């Protein structure tokens, strides 16, 4: 079973997400029954699955949620904001429970019990819960009585030698797919079966409808089979037949025997025990979960490790890949044929084959990269909840709009972009959007809007967070920066430069830090995270109208468009995105600056030159004269700089291999790649290189 647990967990988390977004979409007073149904179905599936997979704590918890939702679904219960909040809390609690179980940690019983109680209060009212939670004296008495009755039953059962069954099906019995023959076969397994068919109601041949059941039976099952098993066989046809089951008493039954048998009727007690302990709510059920876990410990550990790196892929993408692999195989066999008896006249064929191979390899590469692409909705879907919770807390009215959720982006980017986005959205909620009264005074709609938008542009994905709040105040920003000692007084800034101030370490504009946004990590960390993903962040803001923060990110972190350059005998890769232009330089464009090395004048701008062969200590062919090399103008964090190289080799896509994983981190180098001839080339990290050469 454990091999399906992974699927089960994934499904649960999906279900929880659907429940969460459903709950957030519920509009009190105008309830969409389909939404409630979806939420209900989520709880229902988790309950069914968790019971089957042995997570009884979860099953128990979801049962209460399900009951509550079921009543809402049927319209027996009104949907209130408190109920929604309790359910939202329960969704969180369930998510934690499942995560704990998945990672084999102990479930936080106290918080689970707390949420469960909240649900029960919602369901039964406070008084009802107390009654049902505490196992009362009454209950245990009843339990004992039950046991006794069952034991008595057993005594009777065992006293006789079998059962007499009168079974008279209604005409329609066959129409549910039930078949008396199959039932008789089952009865025969319990003991010797004697059947007597009563065919007096069977009509004549011409009136006979073969789809109706006209026969009745008198059956005898010999032996000491329990009544429950006999009843179970007829369980499915209850209501579709007349059924009478009587003990088949044989005269020789001795009373003494009855007492004896009743005394050792123990198994029945355990049976009766079970339902009696089930209503004991709270803690006594929950410990079941951790207790059952160790049994499958080994398999589960394995699957948990696998889980952290698993990915769900659309089958269409896989089909496309298989198709491409097929193409590659065909091309390969074609090339093999050419090579087998190679002659010069086959050169044309060879070239054609190689061209085909190149095309297929490229397609294949793209196909494989595609597998790693996930829609950005994986990240976006968490935000409606965040906005709901925070805006309630702040007493603001805010609507969140999501645009372009289906935009696809690399899985690694998806995982890493979440935290910076959360921070930015918190900022918009807390600092951007005004309080309702303030908004009305400013002539804006009472409800503020935050738009989260994703789209592709070039080889990048752009994520924009736009709010219609009061925008950034340039004067305030500058005053704050001066106060913090980050800039000098009377400095002159353009709007853009002023907005950039918020990215400085130690800058925070909120007059009071709140627990929503002022958490010590500032915008500088956000920017650093985004830059470490190879992206950048910019701000557009208009005072009184709102702010847009745009994040540009590469689509994938595994492949890079690069320009290969030669320095001596070495080849380096410069990321194409950071190259502005490449030029041949002349003597008169150069300037020597004392203590600062060489600079270069490009259209009235002085640009520092980084001599690559010096930085990397490589023997260069033009070590003496700068003018014999080529200058590659690159940009890193808004600063221009010229890299002096010997030659430009060509543009190509390179697969990034981590240096940190294989060697160690080197400043100025972001990774390495393997070239067509098998040699290794370093990939330059332009901003890092600039910092390095400045020292």
Min dist. Cβ of residue 221 to another protein (A): 16
- Which of the stretches 42-50, 391-399, 491-499, 525-533 binds another protein when contact is defined by CB under 8 A? 42-50
- Which of the stretches 179-187, 500-508, 628-636, 672-680 binds another protein when contact is defined by CB under 8 A? 179-187
Strands 162-169 and 241-247, by their bridges, are: antiparallel
Three-state secondary structure call for residue 58: helix
CA–CA gap between residue 290 and residue 691 (Å, rounded): 52
Taking the least distance from each CB to another protein, the nearer of 175 and 519 is 175
Q: Is 418 exposed, middle or buried (0-12, 13-18, 19+ CB in 10 A)?
A: middle
CA–CA gap between residue 102 and residue 558 (Å, rounded): 29
Does 236 engage in binding with another protein (CB under 8 A)?
A: yes
- Which of the stretches 36-44, 295-303, 471-479, 521-529 binds another protein when contact is defined by CB under 8 A? 36-44
- Which of the stretches 4-12, 118-126, 248-256, 675-683 binds another protein when contact is defined by CB under 8 A? 4-12
Does 48 engage in binding with another protein (CB under 8 A)?
A: yes
Please give the C-alpha separations between residue 203 and each of 174, 199, 200, 207, 209, in angstroms, as whole numbers: 17, 9, 8, 6, 9
**Could you say which of 80, 82, 140, 176 contacts another protein (CB under 8 A)?**
176
**Could you say which of 5, 90, 428, 564 contacts another protein (CB under 8 A)?**
5
**Could you say which of 22, 23, 45, 374 contacts another protein (CB under 8 A)?**
45
**Could you say which of 239, 255, 595, 638 contacts another protein (CB under 8 A)?**
239
Neighbours of 350 (CB within 10 A): 15
- Which of the stretches 48-56, 432-440, 575-583, 669-677 binds another protein when contact is defined by CB under 8 A? 48-56
**Could you say which of 29, 177, 204, 267 contacts another protein (CB under 8 A)?**
177
**Could you say which of 240, 467, 570, 646 contacts another protein (CB under 8 A)?**
240
- Which of the stretches 140-148, 174-182, 485-493, 627-635 binds another protein when contact is defined by CB under 8 A? 174-182
| Number of residues this chain uses to bind another protein (CB under 8 A) | 36
**Could you say which of 152, 179, 242, 569 contacts another protein (CB under 8 A)?**
179
Binding mask 192-231 for another protein (x = CB under 8 A): -------------------x--------------------
Taking the least distance from each CB to another protein, the nearer of 178 and 548 is 178
CA–CA gap between residue 541 and residue 500 (Å, rounded): 11
- Which of the stretches 169-177, 350-358, 411-419, 614-622 binds another protein when contact is defined by CB under 8 A? 169-177
The tokens for 534 are 């190879």
Does 175 engage in binding with another protein (CB under 8 A)?
A: yes
Please give the C-alpha separations between residue 33 and each of 39, 40, 44, 89, 543, in angstroms, as whole numbers: 10, 10, 16, 21, 43
Min dist. Cβ of residue 162 to another protein (A): 21
Please give the C-alpha separations between residue 185 and each of 169, 173, 180, 189, 194, in angstroms, as whole numbers: 17, 17, 9, 7, 11
Query: Looking at the DSSP assignment, which residues form a beta bridge with residue 639?
Result: 636
The closest alpha carbon to 661, from 650, 652, 672, belongs to 672
Total residue count of the chain as it appears in this document = 695
Three-state secondary structure call for residue 602: strand
CA–CA gap between residue 629 and residue 591 (Å, rounded): 16
CA–CA gap between residue 57 and residue 555 (Å, rounded): 42
Taking the least distance from each CB to another protein, the nearer of 50 and 407 is 50
Query: Which H/E stretch holds residue 464?
Result: strand 460-467
**Could you say which of 23, 44, 487, 630 contacts another protein (CB under 8 A)?**
44
Does 4 engage in binding with another protein (CB under 8 A)?
A: yes
The tokens for 478 are 């500058």
Min dist. Cβ of residue 39 to another protein (A): 12
**Could you say which of 178, 356, 508, 548 contacts another protein (CB under 8 A)?**
178
Residues 6+ apart with CB under 8 A from 599: 590, 591, 593, 606, 607, 608, 609
Binding site for another protein (CB under 8 A): 1, 3-5, 7-8, 10-11, 38, 40-41, 44-45, 47-53, 59, 67, 174-179, 182, 185-186, 211, 235-236, 239-240
């Amino acid at each position: 079973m454990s091999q399906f647990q992974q699927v089960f967990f994934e499904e649960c988390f999906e279900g929880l997400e659907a429940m969460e977004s459903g709950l957030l979409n519920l509009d009190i007073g105008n309830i969409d029954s389909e939404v409630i149904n979806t939420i209900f179905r989520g709880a229902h599936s988790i309950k069914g699955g968790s019971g089957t997979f042995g997570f009884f704590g979860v099953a128990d918890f979801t049962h209460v949620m399900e009951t509550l939702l079921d009543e809402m679904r049927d319209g027996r219960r009104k949907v209130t904001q408190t109920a929604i909040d309790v359910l939202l809390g329960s969704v969180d609690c369930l998510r934690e429970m499942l995560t704990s179980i998945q990672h084999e940690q102990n479930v936080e019983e106290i918080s689970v019990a707390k949420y469960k109680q909240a649900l029960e209060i919602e369901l039964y009212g406070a008084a009802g819960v107390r009654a049902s939670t505490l196992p009362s004296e009454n209950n245990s008495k009843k339990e004992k009585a039950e046991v006794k009755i069952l034991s008595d039953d057993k005594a009777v059962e065992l006293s006789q030698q079998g059962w007499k069954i009168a079974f008279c099906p209604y005409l329609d019995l066959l129409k549910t797919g039930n078949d008396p023959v199959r039932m008789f076969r089952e009865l025969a397994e319990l003991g010797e079966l004697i059947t007597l068919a009563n065919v007096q109601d069977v009509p004549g041949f011409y009136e006979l409808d073969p789809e109706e059941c006209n026969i009745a039976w008198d059956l005898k099952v010999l032996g000491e089979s329990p009544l429950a098993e006999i009843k179970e066989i007829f369980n499915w046809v209850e209501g579709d037949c007349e059924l009478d089951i009587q003990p088949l008493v044989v005269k020789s039954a001795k009373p003494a025997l009855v007492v004896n048998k009743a005394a050792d009727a123990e198994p029945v007690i355990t049976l009766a025990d079970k339902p009696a302990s089930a209503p004991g709510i709270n803690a006594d059920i929950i410990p079941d979960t951790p207790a059952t876990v160790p049994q499958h410990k080994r398999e589960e550990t394995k699957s948990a490790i696998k889980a952290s790196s698993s990915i769900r892929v659309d089958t269409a993408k896989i089909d496309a890949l298989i198709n491409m692999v097929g193409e590659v195989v065909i091309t390969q066999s074609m090339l093999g044929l050419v090579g087998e008896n190679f002659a010069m006249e086959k050169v044309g064929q060879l070239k054609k084959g190689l061209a085909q191979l190149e095309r297929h390899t490229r397609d294949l590469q793209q196909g494989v990269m595609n597998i790693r692409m996930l829609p950005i909705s994986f990240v976006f879907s968490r935000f409606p909840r965040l906005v709901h919770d925070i805006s309630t807390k702040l007493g603001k009215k805010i609507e969140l709009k999501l645009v372009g959720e289906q935009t696809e982006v690399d899985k690694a980017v998806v995982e890493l972009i979440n935290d910076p986005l959360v921070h930015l959205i918190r900022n918009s909620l807390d600092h951007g959007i005004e309080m309702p009264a303030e908004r009305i005074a400013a002539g804006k709609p009472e409800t503020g809007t935050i738009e989260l938008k994703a789209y592709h542009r070039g080889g990048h994905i752009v994520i924009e967070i736009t709010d219609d709040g009061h925008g950034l105040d340039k004067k305030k920003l500058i005053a704050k920066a001066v106060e913090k000692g980050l800039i000098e007084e009377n400095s002159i800034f353009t709007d853009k430069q002023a907005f950039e101030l918020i990215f400085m370490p130690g800058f925070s504009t909120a007059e009071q830090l709140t627990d929503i946004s002022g958490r010590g990590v500032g915008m500088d960390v956000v920017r650093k995270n985004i830059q470490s993903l190879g992206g950048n962040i910019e701000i557009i803001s208009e005072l009184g109208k709102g702010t847009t923060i745009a994040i540009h990110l590469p689509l994938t972190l595994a492949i890079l468009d690069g320009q290969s350059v030669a320095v001596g005998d070495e080849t380096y890769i410069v990321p194409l995105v950071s190259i502005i232009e490449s030029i041949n330089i002349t003597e008169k464009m150069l300037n020597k600056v004392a203590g600062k090395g060489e600079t270069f004048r490009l259209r009235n701008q002085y640009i520092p030159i980084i001599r690559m062969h010096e930085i990397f200590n490589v023997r260069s062919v033009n070590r003496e004269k700068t003018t014999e090399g080529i200058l590659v103008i690159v940009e890193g964090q808004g600063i221009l700089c010229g890299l002096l190289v010997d030659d430009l080799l060509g543009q190509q896509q390179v697969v990034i291999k981590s240096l940190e994983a294989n060697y160690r981190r080197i400043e100025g180098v972001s990774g390495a790649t393997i070239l067509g001839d098998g040699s290794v080339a370093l990939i330059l990290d332009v901003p890092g290189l600039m910092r390095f050469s400045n020292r």
